[in-house]
Amino acid sequence: MHPEIRRTEPGSCPICGMALEPVQPAAQAESNPELRDMTRRFWVGAALAVPLLFSIWARTSGR
């Protein structure tokens, strides 16, 4: 990939021959409900798993 190669029409890179891809504008920070839901699920799962893991660790370590 050669980012310095810019063309106004489709074609191939003159250096390596790969197809040129259109330049996409930077993604704007949008509210993504799926990401928000999965993030919440992750933190709820972590909050439930950490005490359980420490409990098991304490029992098996002999303290």
50 found inside a domain:
yes
Q: What does the mean pLDDT of the chain come to?
A: 87
Q: Which residues contact 6 (CB under 8 A, 6 or more apart)?
A: 23
Is the pLDDT assigned to residue 13 strictly greater than 80? yes
- Taking residues 11-17, report their average pLDDT: 88
Q: 53 in a domain, yes or no?
A: yes
pTM metric for this prediction: 0.47
Q: Could you list the residue range(s) of the whole structural domain that residue 59 is in? A: 32-63
**pLDDT tier at 9, thresholds 50, 70, 90:** confident
Does residue 13 lie within any of the structural domains?
Answer: no
How many domains would you assign to the chain? Answer: 1
At 56, the pLDDT band (50, 70, 90 cuts) reads very high
